[in-house]
């Protein structure tokens, strides 16, 4: 359970940590969109360089960042295999029985794996540098315009922050219950799939019971304090967009522009490099 | 047969900013038949320590030998873990939260079944365990654990451990969240279980007034180390150091300490019964001999209300 780093804050109090969470959220969205515009390996190198630089500035160990990829490794390998076998383009390398592997397929599989891992590492970086509370505040603030058309933005934000707040508690609870059942001789990590699923029942049932109990208690506590999402609520921490956010925005825009230029103007820098190397060897 | 812990150290989340050393160089021997109390405030490492006794945490450094099951770092022997879990029974805090089956009988049977016993053996152990914890077997066996009262649920959870017939019973805050009457009953149950089922008992508690009533020996954890490991009557000679560690001292000890400061030395006093006997011995009437004095208990006197809940005879 403890290995899942996704959604875990990594406190180092760096500049990246202190950026306006709204800005970070927008950068994140831009980053996610931009990754789908990367056309060449040079482009991926640039994305990786960008990601590693931000990670270094944030003082988050690269190891921690890689650990977040470990969680989706199975998914990555699965997509890569599917792509290798079913994406057909260019020169055929292997042609045996019903299997046909092409250069284009391998190329696409590698790019897809890069895309997924960079995507996950980027999103993890956001959660390493931003607390759950900051994130919900940012979302609430960004969704504010929707409240004019009667969308209950504050309620949505509250629901989200409660959900996020519950995750570590539930993880801890899971750990405790697992230990208790292991102490009663339950073998949770061994056996085949069916056996494993069956073995999870003694953990899941108490977990649900306790989650419902906690939710009940929280609802009572909110009611007892007459909590309501009125317009007049004020914030303890007011978000501010400052000079460092502007500088960060500039960097992100330059980065995005470079990727777009590579795609639309050059159609991928790789071709030119391949041509250049061929020119040298010829 | 004994539990032997050598140079045990443990760090949570090593190499991250959340790194926390929970245990450092703990050495401890627990003999079969010990009634051991473990004291220590939050984060002192006491919970981490007992998790090791059941192989629930992977050993990082040190050596543990529990009744000839040996644990060393980086070696995981499945067979040994099963044997270990049949030897050491763990009753966690709020054990009723781990109940999951639809009948009491099935839930209690979960542990012994996992030990790989025959159906007949499981059934007889279940019945015995349920009776041992003081529940009405015929009435309770087919009921859902969730419809029982809080105290009954806890008994069912304890029965689930007892049914594995562990030789060592470990209880973490067994009376947490119960009312004084419920507490009294659980304490009586623990004494009974030690006598009739598991001869070695380890209890974690932060309520010193409670722990002093039954433990023979107390281990105090502080900052991941064993600060004291003494027979009960000697421990509270160190009441000042214990207070400095943020631990409370039993009220009887506090009274004896105050009297000593005023020049009245009652000797080693640990709990309310000791205090009563010591006072009678010192100031009591000459017509009481030692056997009569040793039969005195605090609950015979009507000052229980002023003295506080622990001296009260519970339901009486």
Residue B238 has pLDDT above 80, yes or no: yes
CB spacing of B56 vs A11 below 8 angstroms:
no
- Shared domain for B204 and B99, answered yes or no, is yes
> Residue B77 — very low, low, confident or very high, per pLDDT cuts 50/70/90?
low
CB spacing of B97 vs A179 below 8 angstroms:
no
Which one of B98, B113, B174 would you mutate to disrupt binding with A, by most A Cβ within 10 Å of its Cβ? B98
Residue B206 resides in a domain = yes
**Quick one: pLDDT at residue B302?**
57
**Quick one: pLDDT at residue B145?**
92
- Shared domain for B102 and B49, answered yes or no, is yes
| Regions of chain A with pLDDT less than 70 | 1-7, 229-231
Question: Residue A75: which domain range?
Answer: 1-130+242-282
Residue A220 resides in a domain = no
Question: Of B207, B225, B242, which one is at a domain's C-terminal end?
Answer: B242
Is A171 near chain B, with CB under 8 Å?
no
**Quick one: pLDDT at residue B309?**
46
Is B99 near chain A, with CB under 8 Å?
yes
- Tell me what the mean pLDDT of segment B268-288 comes to: 80
Count of domains for chain A: 1
For A201, which of B51, B100, B164 is closest by C-beta distance? B100
Is A205 near chain B, with CB under 8 Å?
yes
Residues in chain B with CB shorter than 8 Å from the CB of A209 are 97, 146
**Quick one: pLDDT at residue A3?**
41
Question: Residue B178: which domain range?
Answer: 2-242
Q: How far is B294 from chain A (nearest CA, A)?
A: 40
Helices (H), chain B: 46-53, 78-87, 104-114, 119-132, 137-140, 150-162, 180-196, 208-211, 232-235, 239-244, 251-261, 272-283, 290-294, 304-307
Burial class of residue B43, CB neighbours in 10 A (0-12, 13-18, 19+): middle
- Tell me what the mean pLDDT of segment B135-163 comes to: 93
Residues in chain B with CB shorter than 8 Å from the CB of A206 are 97-100
Residue B311 resides in a domain = no
> Residue B26 — very low, low, confident or very high, per pLDDT cuts 50/70/90?
very high
CB spacing of A179 vs B92 below 8 angstroms:
yes
- Shared domain for B82 and B178, answered yes or no, is yes
**Quick one: pLDDT at residue B208?**
85
State the CB neighbour count (10 A cutoff) for residue A174: 16
Residue B316 resides in a domain = no
**Quick one: pLDDT at residue A4?**
43
For B97, which of A11, A64, A206 is closest by C-beta distance? A206
The per-residue pLDDT for range A137-180, each reduced to its tens digit, is 898 889 888 888 888 888 888 888 888 778 878 888 898 999 99
CB spacing of A206 vs B98 below 8 angstroms:
yes
Residue A203 resides in a domain = no
Select, from the ranges A29-33, B42-46, B247-251, B266-270, the one with the highest average predicted confidence (pLDDT). Answer: A29-33
**Quick one: pLDDT at residue B144?**
93
Q: How far is A174 from chain B (nearest CA, A)?
A: 10
- Shared domain for B111 and B212, answered yes or no, is yes
ipTM: 0.84
The per-residue pLDDT for range B156-205, each reduced to its tens digit, is 999 999 999 999 999 999 998 888 888 889 999 999 999 998 999 999 98
Q: What CATH number is given to the structural domain containing B11?
A: 3.40.50.300
Question: Of B189, B209, B242, which one is at a domain's C-terminal end?
Answer: B242
B250 in Cβ contact with B266 (< 8 Å): no
**Quick one: pLDDT at residue B79?**
61
Q: How far is A231 from chain B (nearest CA, A)?
A: 38
- Shared domain for B132 and B150, answered yes or no, is yes
Residue A202 resides in a domain = no
A36 in Cβ contact with A79 (< 8 Å): no
Is B230 near chain A, with CB under 8 Å?
no
- Shared domain for B182 and B207, answered yes or no, is yes
Rounded to the nearest integer, the mean pLDDT of chain B is 86
CB spacing of A209 vs B115 below 8 angstroms:
no
Least confident segment among A37-46, B48-57, B146-155, B297-306? B297-306
State the CB neighbour count (10 A cutoff) for residue A156: 17
Residue A172 resides in a domain = no
Residue B74 resides in a domain = yes
Cα–Cα–Cα angle for A254, A255, A259, rounded to 5 degrees: 115
d(CA B221, CA B211): 15
Q: How far is A3 from chain B (nearest CA, A)?
A: 10
- Shared domain for B285 and B233, answered yes or no, is no
- Shared domain for B282 and B235, answered yes or no, is no
CB spacing of B51 vs A179 below 8 angstroms:
yes
**Quick one: pLDDT at residue B123?**
95
Count of domains for chain B: 2
- Tell me what the mean pLDDT of segment B127-152 comes to: 92
Helices (H), A225-242: none
Residue pairs between chains A and B whose CB atoms are closer than 8 Å? 60
**Quick one: pLDDT at residue B221?**
93
- Shared domain for B232 and B257, answered yes or no, is no
Residue B314 resides in a domain = no
Is B110 near chain A, with CB under 8 Å?
yes
d(CA B249, CA B212): 10
> Residue B76 — very low, low, confident or very high, per pLDDT cuts 50/70/90?
low
- Shared domain for B211 and B263, answered yes or no, is no
Q: Which residue of B has its CA nearest to A178?
A: B98
**Quick one: pLDDT at residue A1?**
38
Strands (E), A72-143: 92-96, 99-102
């Amino acid at each position: 359970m403890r290995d899942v780093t996704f959604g875990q804050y990594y406190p180092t109090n760096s500049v990246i940590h202190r950026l306006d969470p709204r800005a970070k959220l927008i950068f994140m969205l831009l980053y996610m969109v931009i990754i789908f515009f990367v056309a060449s390996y040079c482009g991926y190198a640039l994305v990786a360089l960008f990601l590693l630089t931000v990670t270094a500035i944030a003082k988050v160990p690269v190891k921690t960042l890689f650990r977040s990829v470990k969680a989706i490794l199975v998914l990555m390998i699965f997509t890569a295999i599917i792509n290798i076998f079913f994406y057909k383009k260019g020169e055929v390398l292997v042609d045996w029985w019903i299997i046909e592997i092409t250069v284009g397929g391998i190329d696409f599989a590698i790019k897809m794996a890069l895309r997924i891992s960079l995507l996950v590492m980027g999103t993890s970086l956001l959660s390493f540098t931003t607390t759950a509370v900051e994130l919900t505040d940012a979302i609430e603030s960004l969704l504010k315009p929707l409240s004019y058309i009667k969308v209950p933005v504050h309620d949505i934000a509250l629901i989200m922050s409660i959900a996020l707040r519950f995750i570590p508690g539930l993880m801890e609870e899971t750990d405790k219950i697992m230990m208790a059942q292991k102490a009663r001789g339950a073998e949770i990590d061994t056996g085949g799939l069916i056996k494993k699923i069956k073995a999870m029942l003694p953990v899941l049932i108490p977990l649900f019971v306790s989650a419902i109990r906690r939710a009940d208690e929280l609802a009572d506590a909110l009611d007892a304090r007459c909590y309501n999402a009125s317009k007049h609520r004020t914030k303890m921490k007011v978000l501010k967009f400052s000079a460092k956010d502007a500088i960060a925005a500039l960097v992100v825009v330059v980065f995005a522009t470079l990727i777009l230029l590579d795609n639309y103007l050059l159609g991928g820098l790789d071709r030119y490099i391949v041509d250049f190397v061929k020119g040298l060897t010829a | 047969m004994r539990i032997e812990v050598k140079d045990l150290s443990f760090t949570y989340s090593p190499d991250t900013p959340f790194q926390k050393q929970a245990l450092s160089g703990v050495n401890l021997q627990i003999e079969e038949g010990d009634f051991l109390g473990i004291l220590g405030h939050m984060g002192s490492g006491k919970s981490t320590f007992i998790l090791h006794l059941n192989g629930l945490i992977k050993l990082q450094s040190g050596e543990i030998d529990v009744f000839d099951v040996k644990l060393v770092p980086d070696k995981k022997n499945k067979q040994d873990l099963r044997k270990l879990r049949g030897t050491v029974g763990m009753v966690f805090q709020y054990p009723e939260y781990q109940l999951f089956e639809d009948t009491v009988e099935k839930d209690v049977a979960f542990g012994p079944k996992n030990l790989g016993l025959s159906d007949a053996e499981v059934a007889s152990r279940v019945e015995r365990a349920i009776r041992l914890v003081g529940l009405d077997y015929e009435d309770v066996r087919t009921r859902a654990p969730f419809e029982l009262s809080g105290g009954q649920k806890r008994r069912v959870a304890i029965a689930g451990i007892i049914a594995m017939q562990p030789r060592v019973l470990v209880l973490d805050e067994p009376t947490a969240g119960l009312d004084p009457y419920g507490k009294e009953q659980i304490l009586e149950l623990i004494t009974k279980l030690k006598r009739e089922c598991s001869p070695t008992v380890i209890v974690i508690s932060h309520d010193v007034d409670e722990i002093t009533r039954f433990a023979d020996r107390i281990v105090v954890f502080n900052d991941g180390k064993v600060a004291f490991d003494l027979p009960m009557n000697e421990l509270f000679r160190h009441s000042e150091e214990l207070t400095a560690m943020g631990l409370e001292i039993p009220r009887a000890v506090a009274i004896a300490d105050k009297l000593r400061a005023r020049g009245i030395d009652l000797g080693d006093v640990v709990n309310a019964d000791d205090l009563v006997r010591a006072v009678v011995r010192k100031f009591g009437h000459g017509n009481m001999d030692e056997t009569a004095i040793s039969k005195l208990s605090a609950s015979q006197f009507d000052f229980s209300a002023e003295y506080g809940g622990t001296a009260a005879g519970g339901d009486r």
